[in-house]
Structure 1
């Protein structure tokens, strides 16, 4: 006697396993909470705590993807959840924190700059999700939203650490916020560092350099973070200009031959 064929409902249940992977989504949830906590801290006037929450969210965001790959727990749900978490932690939280600190005194110009940043982060994440399968993993198209958030957070942290008044920095903060929002939706290329594999062997000298880097960082974290992320933000336009010059030189050689 032959066994009955499985129904379409049974096949559906087998094809769609219920539940989600816990470990990577815990990191994503923690990053989401970091963005939420940054907003609450800024509302209460605790800007240094808001900055630290954004940096913690950045670290957790970098870990959730690596944990998912190492444990082979990638999923479509995790990818979508990560994008929503990034929007809160690196799109909404930094713009609200910088607005509450310096931009609200500028009136419409202040909230417009904050909105451009938020909209730029949303568009950047949407474009990244649609091009993830065809994009070159070595490069980001446009400034990554975590780096933009870190640039704003580091600027605020350095200003608070040096007791610089928000009133005198309102216009520079507005210009920086607007510029970062536009860089996120630009075609400027930024290095992704995704080809770096922590499991690869490195020279002993590299370990010494890393140790010295930690020592320098401990001396004054606000300044080191500000300088580091400023260099990264500026590296995109410089790299793009260099690549354009190389392409023009190649085209000239081809036209001559």
Structure 2
């Protein structure tokens, strides 16, 4: 029979859960806010308010870029947060953009347009699953940290909405068939093995004399994005797509350099393992020595 715990002695009380520091919760709050933005984008698209729906996706992408950095800054990383972030990325950058495109134009193609939207959403989920599965791969070369495998989900969501940006700028709306093929192209790029420059290894330290210019540049960019959102998003999407071959070429150069270093090291090890050529001993004279 167990002895009951006296409530007068708090040190004897059993705690089922340890208290969680607030710094572990802050990144999760940002991720949940991003999910709210993605779900709101879906609702706005069903109501026909496409500009606000696209703005909600862009806001979710900004929050997605913040939660990981905030977690690293305040040391609030957790496995729960990583799983929640993957779920948020699937909703915000897979499901929501596919539905926005469907309610905007792809519904004109009936089942074909719906299939294209589903393929894009599923491609986003597969892209995230592959990223999580290979994140801790010990066989990755050192230069692999500079590159994503395939277009990342946030970039895919921003670029796949390019036809909508162009329509907001007053350009002629492309045919629904062209939008469908463009959606499938971005989906293929997301699940492909194409090396895409990530920029994770770029040093983020700013020299003291450049702090103020950096602040001014960031404020200027935000002002441009607020004042001319569709111009900036259109130009950014086009430039990003045009930069993909450069990332592939850079990855190939790294692979060749790594292969050359590996071959050189193998040659050095092989040369060190070969014993030196034995020196020939002088032949001894077999004739008897003559004594004087």
TM-score range, shorter chain: 0.7 to 0.9
Partner of 1:28: 31
Structure 1: how far apart are the matches of 2:91 and 2:31? 11
Instruction: For residue 200 of structure 1, report the CA deviation from its aligned partner.
Output: 3.2
Segments of structure 1 that go 5 or more residues without pairing to the other structure are 1-12
Q: Cα RMSD (Å) of the superposition?
A: 3.0
Name which of 172, 176, 181 aligns with 1:175. Answer: 181
TM-score (norm 1): 0.81
The Cα of 1:232 is off from its aligned counterpart by 1.4
* Corresponding position: 1:109 with 2:112: yes
Q: Which has the higher contact order (CA 8 A, sep 6+)?
A: 1
Alignment deviations for residues 193-223 of structure 1 (CA, whole Å, 9 cap, x no partner): 2223444327749747667656665663212
TM-score normalised per structure 2: 0.72
Q: Which structure's residues are more often helix, by fraction?
A: 1
Is residue 44 from structure 1 mapped to residue 47 from structure 2 by the alignment? yes
Tell me which residue corresponds to 2:4: none
Q: Which residue of 2 aligns with 1:91?
A: 94
Greater Cα radius of gyration, structure 1 or 2: 2
The residue number in structure 1 matching 2:64 is 61
Choose which of 192, 197, 201 in structure 2 pairs with 1:186.
192
Contact map agreement 1:116 1:182 (CA 8 A) in 2: no
Q: How is 1:192-231 mapped onto 2 (pairs within 5 angstroms)?
A: 192-201=198-207, 204=210, 207=214, 217=225, 220-231=228-239
| In 1: Cα distance, 2:250 partner to 2:205 partner | 31
Structure 1 stretches of 4+ with a deviation exceeding 3 A read: 16-20, 196-200, 202-219, 241-252
Deviation per CA, 1:115-142, whole angstroms, max 9, x where unpaired? 1111110010000001112353221100
1:99 deviation in Å? 0.8
CA-CA distance at 1:93 after TM superposition: 0.1
Q: Secondary structure at the match of 2:63?
A: helix
Q: 1:243 to 1:68 in 2, by over 3 A?
A: closer
